[in-house]
Amino acid sequence: MKNLGKIDRIIRLMVSVVLIVLYYTDVVSGTWGILAMVVASIFVVTSLVSFCPLYTIFGINTCSVKK
């Protein structure tokens, strides 16, 4: 079941790209760099599958429903 809308997916991918660039340009390094890469990875995966487990827990759905 999808719960991420198109805009939400695009924002997550853009944030992922920014975090990856910050990591590889050594702006963010060490523990914060690892955390940034983990968050970026999670955002990429959730964007590709259009599903966020946290949204399910909190009852959030940004995916438009077609009737």
Q: How many domains does the chain have?
A: 1
Residue 63 lies in a domain: no
The structure tokens 């809308």 sit at 5
Would the pLDDT of 67 be above 70?
no
Beta strands in 1-66 (DSSP E): none
Residue 32 lies in a domain: yes
- Supply the range of the domain harboring residue 33: 6-58
Tell me what pLDDT residue 66 has.
63
Residue 52 lies in a domain: yes
The pTM assigned to this predicted structure is: 0.86
Residue 28 lies in a domain: yes
Residue 17 lies in a domain: yes
- 67: which DSSP letter? -
The pLDDT tens digits of the residues spanning 6-55 come to: 999 999 999 999 999 999 999 999 999 999 999 999 999 999 999 999 99
Tokens describing residue 20? 């990856």
Residue 1 lies in a domain: no
63 — pLDDT class (breaks 50, 70, 90)? confident
Tokens describing residue 26? 């050594």
